[in-house]
Structure 1
Amino acid sequence: MRVLVSLLSGVIFGLGLMVSGMTDTQKVRGFLDVFGAWDPTLIFVLGGAVLPMVVAWRVAAKRKTSPMGEAYPGKPSTRLDGKLVLGALLFGVGWGLGGFCPGPAMASLSYGGWGGLVFVVAMFAGMAIERRLA
C-alpha cells in the first residue's frame, strides 16, 4: 500500500509541477530575474505549496503516527552552518543557470528534452561526488 500511495503522490506532484509551469525553464528564469523582465506568477505556486503545508504540519503535530501508520521523522536541525549556506548557494546558482530544481527536472523527463536529462544526470553526479567528499 505504501508503494501505491508513494506512486500516486509522485504522479500528482509531477502533474502539479507541469501545470504550474515549474518545468518551463523560461518561466522559472523569468521569475528569478527580479531586476529584469520579472514574471511573478510562480509566487502563486509557492503560496499553493506553503499554505497547505502549514495546515498539514499543524495536523501532524497532533498525531503520533502518519495516516499510513508510520512514525513521523524527528524535527530537522535549525542550525545555520557553512554546509547549509554552501548548499543553498549551489542550489540557487544551479536553479538560476539551469532553470530547473530537482523535482521539476525529474518531472520534465516524462516529456523528453535534453535539457532536463542533462540536468538530472549532472544532479546525480553531484550527489555521488558529495557522498565521496563527505
Structure 2
Amino acid sequence: MPIPLSVGDAELAVVGMGGLAVAPGRRDGSLARALLEAAFDHARTLGSAHALAFCRPRLVPYYERRGFHELAAEVTVEQPGGRLVVMPLRTIWAPLHDGAEWPAGGGAAALAADLGRQGPRNEEGSDRKPGRGRSSGHRP
C-alpha cells in the first residue's frame, strides 16, 4: 500500500520496502538479490513510482548497487501521537518505473512522512542525531 509523504513542496506516495534479512550463512548475495527483486516486482504492482527504505549506513553501497539512491537530507518521521523525530537510519529510494525521478527540493529532498504508524522504528547505534523539523538539505 503506498504511503503518502511530502518532499519539499511536492506530495507523492511511496511503497515502503523493509524487513529484508538474510541469515549470515546465506549472505553470498544470490538470496538477498532474489528477495530484493521479488520485493521490487511486488512494489511495481502497487501504483507508486518510488520505493523508499531505511538502512544502516554501512549498507548504503549495497543498496546503491541495486538501484537505490541515498537521500542527502534528513528525514523527519511522524510518530504515533504526532511527535516528529529525525530518522536515525539512512534513507534510500529507488524508481519503480522508467523515468521516475525523486522530486527536487533541499538538496536531494526535504521529506516528512507519516511512517511511524507504518512500522519503521528507530534503531539504536545510529550515527545520526535526533532533531525536529524538516530537512536542512544536508546530513549532519
Please confirm whether the aligned pair reaches a TM-score higher than 0.5, indicating the same fold. no
Q: TM-score, normalised by structure 2?
A: 0.27
Q: TM-score, normalised by structure 1?
A: 0.28
> Which is richer in helix?
1
Bigger CA radius of gyration: 1
